[in-house]
Chains A and B, each alone.
Chain A
Amino acid sequence: AQSVTQLGSHVSVSEGALVLLRCNYSSSVPPYLFWYVQYPNQGLQLLLKYTSAATLVKGINGFEAEFKKSETSFHLTKPSAHMSDAAEYFCAVTSNSGGYQKVTFGIGTKLQVIP
């Protein structure tokens, strides 16, 4: 079954610094991969998704992620952190189970932005 591993449950960066949130996937077939963001006391919303088109995917709020098959990675980056980026970020992968597609989430990474 497909799965994702998010390295680092908490990440702290200074405002203006590079944001790098790591996600590695396990999949026996080409995966579909997603990054979601959850702001405090809210539901999840999609940041970006990889669906086997371009390997560099651009999302909302200046975030992007690069699919690297050789490294089985889909790390999320943003060149310059803003205070409003403080949130929890989830990597997710789709998998087929009994002919239906399910989405499996990582445990999440909480991003703290220090002024």
Chain B
Amino acid sequence: NAGVTQTPKFQVLKTGQSMTLQCAQDMNHEYMSWYRQDPGMGLRLIHYSVGAGITDQGEVPNGYNVSRSTTEDFPLRLLSAAPSQTSVYFCASRSLPGGPATSTDTQYFGPGTRLTVL
């Protein structure tokens, strides 16, 4: 089991460029999510998905798109990068054995992607 993997580990972009952060998990988890981590602000939820074909916004979705075509993959797209999107991005997944509203299962995190936008 590789768990949750993220690529790339580091990325530098120029303002206005677009890119996709990749996230994959091999635990057959229904729930996947993207967070950004900024100093003094903890982790903030960007987008999440409760299964293939189902995505929804978190608390800071602007400037990001997601899709979930398979259970394993949950890419995060930056449409037009801005310096305010400089951050560390974490992907996470967990199972939903009791259904989406009741799961208390552990979330597993990827190692993160450090993004700098110049």
Binding site for B on A (CB under 8 A): 9, 32, 34, 41-46, 49, 51, 90, 94, 96, 98-108
Please report the number of residue pairs spanning A and B whose Cβ atoms sit closer than 8 angstroms.
58
- Verify A105–B101 contact, CB threshold 8 A: no
In the complex, what's the smallest C-beta–C-beta distance from B41 to chain A, in angstroms? 6
Q: Interface SS of chain A: helix, strand, loop or mixed?
A: strand
- Verify B43–A90 contact, CB threshold 8 A: yes
Contact of B100 with A by CB under 8 A:
yes
In the complex, what's the smallest C-beta–C-beta distance from A1 to chain B, in angstroms? 10
Of the stretches B12-20, B67-75, B76-84, B109-117, the one at the interface is B109-117
For B4, the chain A residues whose CB sits under 8 A away are 43
A101 to B107 alpha-carbon distance, docked (Å) = 12
For A108, the chain B residues whose CB sits under 8 A away are 42
A-B contact pairs, 30 of them (CB 8 A): A32-B104, A34-B107, A41-B112, A42-B111, A42-B112, A43-B4, A43-B110, A44-B43, A44-B90, A44-B109, A46-B106, A49-B106, A90-B42, A90-B43, A96-B101, A100-B48, A100-B50, A100-B56, A100-B101, A101-B102, A102-B45, A102-B48, A103-B33, A103-B45, A103-B107, A105-B35, A105-B42, A107-B40, A107-B42, A108-B42
